[in-house]
Structure 1
């Protein structure tokens, strides 16, 4: 495995926080995923980078060497990218906008609004299930804006110079076939889904752990979940083979209903991110407004959910 800049960012995050768990939260990764990545980095470098115990993670001699080089290389690469952008005028501005997004109802409305105001502008999009990938591409200067999702109150990645704005909050819901008796209500109690198999799109962060914790509060352990793409999730829901975790702002689909979970035990925040020093930064306020409008429009597409939100604002906190 060749050492990459993203690996250096992982090493710096562990050193800065003194903990693999805290570093995972900063980077928007699940702790087991970050631990596995750190092990791969250490194997590639030929030795342990950190001493880990109950008190945290402390750099070894090899770790100190790698950290010293990383703290020189990362700012140098970031400075080079900034200089290139300033010299070439590449990226951002009303002539060109590059937007990355996870699976979100915000992207289409955001692009539509930008294109309506700047009809001559070229718009390119990148979709990914990985927040880490999108943020890395944003930091590298290959994207102007990203729309990501985070579970509950989880903090967005703390890369230097990045700015974040919450543009909408969804109550996590479930996608069920209309023939399911539970689909006739305004919302669904998590406990009433205890016997269901589950499905969800691939993702990162703490959502899986938060979901398991809420199921435990509801008195059950969830059956193993299918982790797959959105098309397969929809097919599983249509067949009645799985209850699909979803955002109720999904576009309406024939034969299916997207319903919030009673009491909003799980929430999903949609955030717009950009680099404060990028050429696109002057557009940030306008793009945030577009994204907020796009989220509101997505809510209106599901009148039942819009009505539910009006009566459950307190639950959404």
Structure 2
């Protein structure tokens, strides 16, 4: 059997978890299948790589040698793949735009604007609930831009080397059924929702912690929080089973109403990210300007919110030269 990179990943996974069983779970494999694969790797290398007993798996001297080489080879190969993906995808950046989005309210309008401005360009989109996944894909050359968001004054992970610029800042609102007792108010105090059940979209950001902190400041702990995709979340709100948090530019839905939270205890910052060392960076400023224009377009469906923005200039698009505030 010829040794392959996937075999080195198996060895590293066992060493990192300290157990064949845990490594199998981490790799998404059945434990007997991973055990058989380890045995084949050991036969190819000429000896046992781990001492295994009830306490787990510990590398042998041969295992330590293999691990030392694997920990050099695997990152090097990942770097090679990332560089190759960037080079292969370079081409003319004006002819290709690859966007990733995390529940972005402006992605559709941004694509519409770019398609009108660059009718010969190829535009593709990719959706994910994970900001880190999108950032990794941009860093690896599989996406050109990421449209995401962060709560409060937080910033995306700096570990991927991306440049981030702020598109706009929005107050977080609550989504209620029209029949809800509080639906007639222009603003709702967070504490008045203390008896409600909540529904939220999945994600790996800090928003859940920010929400819990805001509730604690209001003097309560959320009663229950469901996790569901957007369609299921709307169904839960429409059924009166839960209320949801949403961005101020959330598209109106029949039977539901959006109400601001009094005192704006939560805010959301829409961001555009890209890698500074790829060809797409050359068009980042025009894309950022298009994203800002797409956000402005979205306000047309929210006249009451637009009026509110005039009295609250700290929200909405923040003037800063050619586009948004620089984050990193």
Q: Distance in 2 between matches of 1:189 and 1:301?
A: 24
Structure-1 residue corresponding to 2:190: 190
Q: What SS is found at the alignment partner of 1:182? A: coil
Q: Distance in 2 between matches of 1:132 and 1:122?
A: 25
Aligned pairs, how many?
271
Task: Report the CA distance between 1:83 and its aligned residue.
Answer: 4.5
> Does the CA-based 8 Å contact 1:91-1:98 persist in structure 2?
no
CA gap 1:308/1:183 in 2 versus in 1, 3 angstroms: farther
Q: Distance in 2 between matches of 1:256 and 1:2?
A: 53
Q: Distance in 1 between matches of 2:311 and 2:69?
A: 54
Structure-1 residue corresponding to 2:83: 82
Matches within 5 A, 1:1-317: 73-74=74-75, 77-83=78-84, 85-86=86-87, 88-90=88-90, 93-314=93-314
Task: Report the CA distance between 1:172 and its aligned residue.
Answer: 1.0
> Does the CA-based 8 Å contact 1:259-1:305 persist in structure 2?
no
1:17-50, CA deviations, whole angstroms, 9 ceiling, x for partnerless residues? xxxxxxxxxxxxxxxxxxx99x959xx9999xxx
Q: Distance in 1 between matches of 2:104 and 2:8?
A: 32
If the length of structure 1 is used for normalisation, what is the TM-score?
0.75
> Does the CA-based 8 Å contact 2:82-2:141 persist in structure 1?
yes
Task: Report the CA distance between 1:247 and its aligned residue.
Answer: 0.9
Q: Distance in 1 between matches of 2:240 and 2:193?
A: 12
Which of the pair has more CA radius of gyration? 2
If the length of structure 2 is used for normalisation, what is the TM-score?
0.72
> Does the CA-based 8 Å contact 1:186-1:308 persist in structure 2?
no
Q: Distance in 2 between matches of 1:207 and 1:189?
A: 19
Q: What root-mean-square deviation, in Å, do the aligned CA atoms of Structure 1 and Structure 2 show?
A: 3.4
> Does the CA-based 8 Å contact 1:91-1:143 persist in structure 2?
no
Gaps of 5+ in 1: 12-35, 48-61
Gaps of 5+ in 2: 1-5, 17-21, 28-33, 35-48, 52-62, 319-328
> Does the CA-based 8 Å contact 1:212-1:221 persist in structure 2?
yes
